Amino acid sequence: MVTLDAADAIAYSCNTYVSQVATRLTRGQLVQTLRRAGLDSPTGLSQDETTGRVPQPSSVAELQLEVLGDWGVETTPLELLAAYRRLALRLRAGDLGTAAPVFEGLEGSVAFGMADAAHVGGLRIAGKTGTAASATTAETHGVFVGFAPADQPQIALVVYCGCN
């Protein structure tokens, strides 16, 4: 049996690990964290932007799905970009705190994990792939969001592949 730590779980998109860790949070803690990341707030980067929503889960099952993005959370690519920009600025300021495994996992995702297609020789990139259900169809959207260079970010980017 293989044991993953938080960084590897992020790099390999291990939903089981993430949903189990989520059970250590209260529903309020999860919502507060997602809102603090700006996933339901205007970014100020566009005049006519829409905003997402982060509802309060009413059960542990909804909490586990919400942490995976499979229930409740609605966000925009621009909000994701802004959230990763904040992460990158935090890294540049040397403010890793308890988020060190997150940064390690994002870099691992590109170096050897699920986002390895974003790997560029000679450039350290940190990022994550993801999918999201469409609010209007049965299809899913694909996204990559990240920043580079991973150790001293200068750029944040989002690549959104809609299902239309």
Yes or no: say if 143 and 159 are a contact pair by the CB < 8 Å rule.
Answer: yes
Confirm whether 1 is domain-assigned.
no
Domain presence at residue 77: yes
95-120 pLDDT tens trace: 988 899 999 999 999 999 999 999 99
Category of 113 on φ-ψ map: left (φ > 0), alpha (ψ -120 to 50) or beta: beta
Tell me what the pLDDT averaged over the chain comes to.
93
Please tell me the pTM assigned to this model.
0.91
Q: State the total domains in the chain.
A: 1
CATH code for the domain of 121 = 3.40.710.10
Q: What is the pLDDT of residue 164?
A: 60
